[in-house]
């Protein structure tokens, strides 16, 4: 299965990397990696979303927006 990704972008101290991948049903699944820290102190969270999208672009947009929202909320906490 082919994966599509957008270039990672920063939100404060977080690096957000959206990803979409074709699922078994023929749609596209969205996921996002949110990384913080450096070197041995790096921490990476990966979120996978249950919604299926008709296009990889739609899945990427969803992953990017959800990653941005998560990082913004984490910075405010």
- Could you read off the pLDDT of 26-63 as tens digits, one per residue? 999 999 999 998 888 899 999 999 999 999 999 999 99
Residue 2 has pLDDT above 80, yes or no: no
Total of domains in the chain: 1
Contacts of 32 (CB under 8 A, 6+ apart): 16, 17, 18, 19, 46, 47, 63, 64, 66, 67, 70
Residue range(s) defining the domain that contains residue 60: 3-76
CATH of the domain at 47: 3.30.160
| Burial profile 20-39: b = 16 or more Cβ within 10 angstroms, e = fewer | bbeeeeebbbbbbbbbeeee
Q: Kindly report the pTM of this predicted structure.
A: 0.90
Q: Are the beta carbons of 19 and 31 closer than 8 angstroms?
A: yes
45 and 33 in contact (C-beta within 8 Å)? Answer: yes
């Amino acid at each position: 299965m082919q994966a599509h990704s957008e270039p990672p972008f920063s939100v404060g101290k977080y690096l957000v990397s959206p990803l979409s991948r074709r699922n078994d049903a023929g749609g596209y699944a969205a996921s996002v990696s949110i990384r913080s820290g450096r070197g041995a102190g790096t921490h990476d969270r990966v979120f996978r979303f249950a919604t299926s999208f008709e296009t990889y672009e739609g899945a990427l947009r969803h992953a990017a927006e959800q990653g941005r929202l998560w990082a913004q909320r984490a910075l405010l906490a």
